[in-house]
Structure 1
Amino acid sequence: MNVNLFAGMGSHQSARSETNTWFSPPAILDALGGADSFDLDPCSHVDRPWPTAREHYVQEDNGLILPWFGRVWLNPPYSIALITKFLGRMAAHDRGVALIFARTETDPFHRFVWGAASGLLFLRGRLNFHRPDGSRAEANGGAPSVLIAYGMEDRDILAAAPIDGAFVPLRFNVSMLMSALTPTWREALDGFFAGRRGEAVSLAELYRAFADHPKTRANQHWRDKLRQVLQRGRFERVDKGLWKRVPA
């Protein structure tokens, strides 16, 4: 981005630099799935040395007023006014990854990162950015950086990315929490049969009993799973469609 206009990333580079336009290291994008995995970069530059998404908005387009879509890669201008607007737009869009300096005490960080993002990856060391010709700057960016995930899918991508740093989850989806709080299928069936005191139970009755169980909500094939656990667990088929638990 051009920091004469945006006061962005390059403004933190050495004052002796011969350019004011700097680009994120391509290895960061590659570790997040590559440029083709992002649908839009709303803060791109016409002189970019490589793509950062399938579609790019440059300064003349004004990415703040154009529609955002799909998975977004956001490396916003770093003036406090513009970063507030772009991070606010990113929080509302809630899908993609942003790269900014780790100014955790600032108002934009509190409003649109701590209160809106799904995960953070604080990078080890300081990044060296690249010039428009693709060459790597000798000096680092001058401050620590953080990758910010918005949406659960990008939180999981960021958590698994081969990037050196410390990952901090900020939100958990319902399925993750339910998986942690609910028993396994075998435990759930054990508990059900324990209440039947050795009686045989029909599959139809099991289906009715588990129709609203938390284990079934995230699995449309839960009936198949239930039968599979019956066949492999401490259970015995005593007749067609009729099962009982084998005593330990």
Structure 2
Amino acid sequence: MSEPMVFPMFGHPIARTDSDERFTPKWVFDALGENFDLDPASPVDAVTHVPARAVFTRDDDGLMQPWHGFVWVNPPFSNSTPWAERFLSHRDGIWLGPFANAKWLNRMLREADGIWLMRDFAFEHPTHAGKRSSMPLAMFALGSRGRDALIRASRAVPDAGVLVDRVEAS
């Protein structure tokens, strides 16, 4: 096995052959019906289904790079907090991540323009193919374009999850 490498966006050693990278399946993007300007958390040395014009990998340290336009973020679940904070400050795109007791969850729930609570589904990866995340998932949209994409997706694959409507407390 090769020597572990430290990648700033993960904050801990990760051997090239071991990662928590999971590739979002094609059906998700087909359902969203969108193209993205940037995927800042794209896997290293892999072809994915993400329809993004530009990508950053962990080698590029996508957290430290300038983000632009409509972004797709499927962060490393082992260290999702800095990705959530960056996504919330960017304010334009779609986030796919764990719906769990995370530091960022309440803020994401309050600020998202759209929320799709999803059943756990199998991700793609050469060594992790078919493995589920083993935790609830959600897509969060910031901006009307992302919200509209979540509405489209929830209609295209209604069994994949539940679209949540915002209700303001009086």
Superposition TM-score tier, normalisation by shorter sequence: 0.7 to 0.9
- 2:85 is aligned to 88
Question: CA separation in 2, counterparts of 1:19 and 1:91?
Answer: 28
1:169 shift after superposition:
2.8
Question: CA separation in 1, counterparts of 2:103 and 2:95?
Answer: 16
- 2:114 is aligned to 119
Identify if the C-alpha distance between structure 1 residues 64 and 116 changes in structure 2 by more than 3 Å, giving closer, same or farther.
Answer: same
The match for 2:94 among 93, 97, 105 is 97
- 1:223 is aligned to none
Q: Deviations over 1:55-113 (max 9, x none)?
A: 1001121111211111100001123xx4221111111111110100111x3221012x1
Question: CA separation in 1, counterparts of 2:44 and 2:74?
Answer: 15
Q: Greater share of helix residues, 1 or 2? A: 1
Question: CA separation in 1, counterparts of 2:149 and 2:32?
Answer: 7
Q: Which protein is bigger by CA-based radius of gyration?
A: 1
- 2:59 is aligned to 60
- 1:31 is aligned to 31
1:51 shift after superposition:
4.5
- 1:165 is aligned to 161
User: What SS does the aligned partner of 2:45 have?
Assistant: coil
Gapped regions of structure 1 (runs ≥ 5) = 8-17, 173-248
Identify if the C-alpha distance between structure 1 residues 33 and 160 changes in structure 2 by more than 3 Å, giving closer, same or farther.
Answer: closer
The match for 1:149 among 129, 141, 154 is 141
Identify if the C-alpha distance between structure 1 residues 56 and 132 changes in structure 2 by more than 3 Å, giving closer, same or farther.
Answer: farther
- 2:105 is aligned to 109
Q: Deviations over 1:191-217 (max 9, x none)?
A: xxxxxxxxxxxxxxxxxxxxxxxxxxx
Question: CA separation in 1, counterparts of 2:46 and 2:116?
Answer: 25
Equivalent position amino acid for 1:130 in 2: E
- Paired-residue identity, %: 32
Identify if the C-alpha distance between structure 1 residues 99 and 171 changes in structure 2 by more than 3 Å, giving closer, same or farther.
Answer: farther
CA contact (8 A) 2:37 2:68 kept: yes
Residue correspondences, number: 150
CA RMSD of aligned residues (A): 2.5
User: What SS does the aligned partner of 2:104 have?
Assistant: helix
- 1:74 is aligned to 73
Write the mapping of 1:13-24 to structure 2, written as runs, cut at 5 A. 20=19, 21-24=21-24
Equivalent position amino acid for 2:58 in 1: Q
Question: CA separation in 1, counterparts of 2:147 and 2:138?
Answer: 13
Question: CA separation in 1, counterparts of 2:57 and 2:126?
Answer: 14
Q: Greater share of strand residues, 1 or 2? A: 2
Question: CA separation in 2, counterparts of 1:61 and 1:108?
Answer: 24
User: What SS does the aligned partner of 1:121 have?
Assistant: strand
